[in-house]
């Protein structure tokens, strides 16, 4: 009986963990934005719906055009999802047109999760940006990120 209780507790913990937002790690070097916190919302990602990424930190250079946002999902090392967006257009939609001054401490960008996003499989999601000056703006990566048809 104790075995079943322990198995049930483990199953509940696994389901609860699956719903937790992923923890992102810095994957950049010499970036124009030093990230102190990074998150995506809502989670899990919903195919065909908007997801927003918020990064808080310190800019060492203004964000200038033509800055790009890149999203890559990998499953066992293979790219299963890619998206590239005009970061300046995304920031302008949030009220921060390029050039974004170094005094801004939080950046939010929202995009639609494309219809071809794989659902129900845990991917390693890398969200990065390239500044208009050619430098890396930031890079954040998390494992076990899932999308669903919501």
Q: Are strands 123-130 and 136-145 parallel, antiparallel or unpaired?
A: antiparallel
97: its two tokens: 């047109």
Looking at the domain assignment, is residue 61 inside a domain? yes
pLDDT of 107 reads 85
pTM for the complete prediction?
Answer: 0.85
Encode pLDDT of 25-60 as tens digits: 999 989 999 999 999 999 999 999 999 999 999 999
Provide the residue range defining the domain that includes 113: 22-148
Q: What's the structural domain count of the chain?
A: 1
User: Which are the contacts of 61, defined by CB distance < 8 A and separation ≥ 6?
Assistant: 32, 102, 131, 133, 135
Looking at the domain assignment, is residue 2 inside a domain? no
Question: What is the domain-level CATH number for residue 144?
Answer: 2.60.40.770
Looking at the domain assignment, is residue 10 inside a domain? no
Cα–Cα distance, 41 to 61 (Å, whole number): 26
Encode pLDDT of 64-117 as tens digits: 999 999 999 999 999 999 999 999 999 999 999 999 999 999 988 999 999 999
50: its two tokens: 């908007």
Encode pLDDT of 117-134 as tens digits: 999 999 999 999 999 999
pLDDT of 20 reads 87
Looking at the domain assignment, is residue 17 inside a domain? no
């Amino acid at each position: 009986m104790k075995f079943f209780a322990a198995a049930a507790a483990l199953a509940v913990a696994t389901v609860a963990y699956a719903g937790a937002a992923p923890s992102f790690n810095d994957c950049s070097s010499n970036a124009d934005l030093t990230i102190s916190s990074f998150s995506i919302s809502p989670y899990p990602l919903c195919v065909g719906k908007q997801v927003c990424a918020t990064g808080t930190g310190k800019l060492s250079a203004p964000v200038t055009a033509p800055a790009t946002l890149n999203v890559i999902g990998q499953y066992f090392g293979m790219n299963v999802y890619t998206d590239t967006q005009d970061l300046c257009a995304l920031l302008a939609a949030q009220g921060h047109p390029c050039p974004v001054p170094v005094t801004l401490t939080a950046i939010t960008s929202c995009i639609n999760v494309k219809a071809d996003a794989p659902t129900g499989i845990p991917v390693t999601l890398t969200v990065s940006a390239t500044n208009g000056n050619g430098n890396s703006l930031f890079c954040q990566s998390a494992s076990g990120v899932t999308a669903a048809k919501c």
